[in-house]
Amino acid sequence: MSAGASKKWDEALKVYERFAANFENDRKTRLEALTARGDTLRDAGRVEESEAAYRKVVEIAGAEEPSLNANARLQIAYLYKDRVRDYEKAIAEFKEVEKADPKDESRVAASLNGSGDCHLALKRPKEAFACYKRMLQEFSRNQPHWVVRPAKQNAVRAVMEAANWDEGIPFLAEIEASEGDYRLRADLAINHAHALRQSGKKAEARADYVRCQAYYASEADYLYACQKGVVELWVEEGKAAEALKAAKSLYDVASNDRLLIEACTIAAAQLKAVDGHLQRANEFLKFQKFGPLGPDGKPGGDDPSNPLAEVSCDTDPARLKLLQEGFDKTGDSDAGARQRAYLLILMGKPKEALGQFRAQFARCSEDGIQRAGAEWVVVGVKAVQGHVTELKPFYEWLNYGPGGKDGKGPKDDPFKALEGK
């Protein structure tokens, strides 16, 4: 700390000390001055002195000033948690907060969150879960999102680490249902599916992954993660044919280079698993690398084919019903069009999906143009033609329209050609 900063802290401390001395007969004002002195010492990094100041507040406040007493207890707990890293002492202090003022829901909520964090740091997820659960069930209603959100996220972590499935899985469903933020709700939903999977309920987990896809179709990365979970569950059950169908959908919804490379690897592995040899797997990978024209870029000769084109998506009625339910709830907007496009791909209707990607591109705001265009091509076109080679005509159409890059047009809309296949 610089000499100038230290001087400013000292000047502030003198002001609060004078207030405390001048208002010795005014309990509340004196306590507020002592609290401010503790806050200043804390901010100055003088932890032991800060704790002593807060302890003085606790001593004077007693039961007569429960709010100031509880606040001082809470600040002491934070000192042990965040500055000293003595989590056991922090937990002990957090417990005192509710004793000091059980009616102060905000501070009780903060103390439960703090205790949960400490238990996690001490690798006691079961105890952590109990803290977060109580906080969320009893005290979250009137708390700001920046208090509730991390509690929900940490509760998920505690459930997973404790493997407390009987209590944790229903609770994850409960907090998903009560969450207003779409992205966090999607995160809670996929973790509910993960929990079902880890608990050994494979069929329920698979259905829950599909539910996540149906109701959170705006989250393209979650769509992929859920589909990957479905593939892995079929693999775990030794059902290679079903895993291959799921792998085809995984390939179709892959929306960037990283996911596409992973999806190709998974699809090739499932082709090998079904066949018991590498012929179709190698043919698929060759097709992905060179496209239908092969290494020489010319038609004829030993051009590769796409074995994945022979594979249908999973047509299980229960799965398709869930996806259709999600489809029917999409809105009349660019976001709704995007959701419908992804759901149509998962339902094995990629040509229809191209029309929805077109609608998304037409209706999206300026901020969404790049994503909408990329998904129309990388996801939509890929799902129809089965590869990502020869995409230049599609990007040129998006950028220059029928006139073309050279302005000599007219050029046909390449997307319509695919939609009409």
pTM of structure: 0.88
pLDDT digits (tens, 9 = 90+) for 84-120: 999 999 999 999 999 999 999 999 999 999 999 999 9
Which pLDDT band, with edges at 50, 70 and 90, does 399 fall under?
Answer: very high
| Between residues 351 and 23, the one the model is more confident about | 351
- 421 pLDDT higher than 60: no
CB-based contacts of 18: which residues, under 8 Å, 6+ apart?
Answer: none
Which of 126-135, 174-183, 230-239, 273-282 comes out lowest in average pLDDT? 174-183
**Per-residue confidence (pLDDT) for residue 7, from 0 to 100:** 55
What is the percentage of the chain residues whose pLDDT exceeds 90?
77
**pLDDT tens digits for 167-217?**
999 999 999 999 989 899 999 999 999 999 999 999 999 999 999 999 998
Helix boundaries (H) for 179-239: 182-198, 202-215, 220-236
How far apart CA 335 and CA 413 sit, in angstroms, is: 23
Ordered domains of the chain (ranges, CATH) = 1-103 (1.25.40.10), 329-421 (no CATH)
10 Å Cβ neighbour count for 8?
A: 14
Structure tokens at 242: 């079903």
pLDDT number for residue 203: 96
The average confidence (pLDDT) of the chain is 91
3-state secondary structure of 161: helix
Q: Which pLDDT score is estimated for 191?
A: 95
Residue 4: pLDDT over 50: no
What's the pLDDT at 295?
Answer: 87
Give the model's confidence band at 336: pLDDT under 50 very low, under 70 low, under 90 confident, else very high. Answer: very high
